[in-house]
Amino acid sequence: MTGAQQLHNIGRRRAYVIWATALAVYVLAVFHRTSLGVAGLLAAERFDISGSQLATFTVLQLAVYAGMQIPVGVLLDRFGSKALIISGLVAMTAGQLWFATADSFAMGLGARALIGAGDAMVFTSVLRLIALWFLVRQAPVITQLTGMVGQMGAVAAAIPLSAALHAWGWTMTYATAGFLGVVGILGIFLVAKDSPYERGAVEKIKIRALRDSLGQVWRDPGTRLGFSVHFTTQFAPTVFALLWGFPFLVAGQGLTPGQASALLTWMTFVALFAGPTIGRWTGRHPYYRSLMALVLVGAISLVWAIVLALPTQSPLWLLIVLVSVTAVGGPGSLIAFDLARSFHRSERYGRASGMVNMGGFVASLTTMALVGIILDQIAPGGPQTYTLDNFRIAMSSQFLLWGFGAWMIWRYHQRSLDLVAESPGAMDALRRGYTLLPGISRDPDEG
C-alpha cells in the first residue's frame, strides 16, 4: 500500500466494526465446516452409505478447501476481501441448503464440495482485512482473537446442532443453518470495506510469473518446514472433530450421543485456552518452534497409543484426556504459519501461507480416507456394525502420518537452520527471540 492515499483511520471504531462483521462470517464458516461432525451416523443412515462413503463427504469438502488455497490468495489480491467473503457466503449458503434436501450420495457430495469452496474464501479474506485496517501492534492480537472466537462455530456444530437434529430433523436443521448465510451476506455488503486506502489499478494475473514464483516459494526449506509442522499437528483434531470422533466415541467407546457431543465441545474450549499459551511461548522462544511441534505430536500419539492399546472401552476420564491432548494440535499447528513468516519477505508470505495451510488438510484427507477404507474392509456391514476392535485398527492408521510427519519436521528443521546460518546475524537474531530474520524475512532496506 506504499504511496496509496489513506481515506480512513485505521485501528479505530470503523476497523472494529468491519472486523466484527467479518468475524461473524468466519464463525459461520467454521460451523458449516464442522456441521457433519455430530451427524455422521445419521448421514450414513439417510444416504444408506458405507464408512468410506461417509468419509468421502468430508474428504471431498476438505480437498476442495485445500485445493483452492492458492487460487483464492491470487484472487484475493486482485478483487479484495469483500468480494471473496460474499462469494464464499453464497457458496456455503447454497451448499448447506442443497445438503438439507439431498437424498442421494451424489447430491450430498455436490453439496459438501460447494460448502468447501465457500469456506476456502473466508479465513484468508478476514486476515487481509485485519492486516489493512489495524495497526501493526494491533494485528497480532486481533488475529489471535479471530482464531479463538471462530472456534465458537465448532461449539455450535456440536451440542446445539445435535439437539436440533433430534428435535427438528435433518432437513429443517440444515436449511435453518443455510439461511444464516443470507444474514451474513447482507452484513458484509452493508458494512465491509476492503481497505482504508485508495484502491489502485487492478493487478493483472500473469500465469507464467505466478507459476515460477510459486516454485521458488515451495523450494524454500522454511515453506517445507511450515508445511511439515501443519501436516503433522493439525490432522488429528481435524479428523476427530469433523468426522470420526463422534462415531468412535459412540459406537466404539459406548458413550451416549450427548456425552460425545460434550467431548467435542470440550475440545474446542481446550483449543481456545491452549492457543494463547502456545503463542506466547513460541513468540519468546522461536528457535525451538519445530521442537515444540515435535513435543506436541509425541504427546498426542502417546495418549492415542494408550487408549487404543486398552483391551476394553476407556474410562471417561481417559477419554477426556484423549480429546484434550488431541485438541492442542489445532493451536499447535499455527506454529507453521509463524515459521513461514520467518523465512519469507512480506510480498511472498501469502503464497507461503497457502502452501503451509495445505499441509494439515492433505494429512486430514489422507487419514479420513484411510480410516473409512479400513472400516469398510473389517466391518463390511456398515456403520451400524462398528465395534471398538474395528476402530482400534482403523484409528491406528494415524501413527503412519505422525511418524512420516515427524521425520519431515526434523529433516526440514535441519535444512532451515542451515539456511539461517548462511545469512549474517540471522542465527543470533533467532536465538534472541526475533522471528523476522535479517537477510531472510526482512526487506533489504530494513537493515
Q: In the chain, which residues fall in CATH 1.20.1250.20?
A: 7-192, 213-442
Q: Which residue has the cell 494440535?
A: 329
The CATH architecture to which 7-192 belongs is Up-down Bundle (1.20)
Length of the chain: 447
Phi, psi of 6 (to 5 degrees): -85, 125
The confidence score (pLDDT) of residue 130 equals 79
**What is residue 197's three-state secondary structure?**
strand
DSSP 6: B
CATH superfamily of 213-442: MFS general substrate transporter like domains (1.20.1250.20)
Q: How far apart are CA 5 and CA 197, in angstroms?
A: 6
Measure the CA angle with vertex 235, ends 230 and 239; round to 5°.
160
Q: How far apart are CA 100 and CA 36, in angstroms?
A: 12
Mean pLDDT by 10 residues, the chain (447 residues): 60 88 94 83 85 81 86 77 93 94 92 94 84 69 74 78 87 90 93 75 57 83 94 94 89 92 88 80 85 96 97 96 95 83 72 81 89 91 88 97 97 94 89 82 54
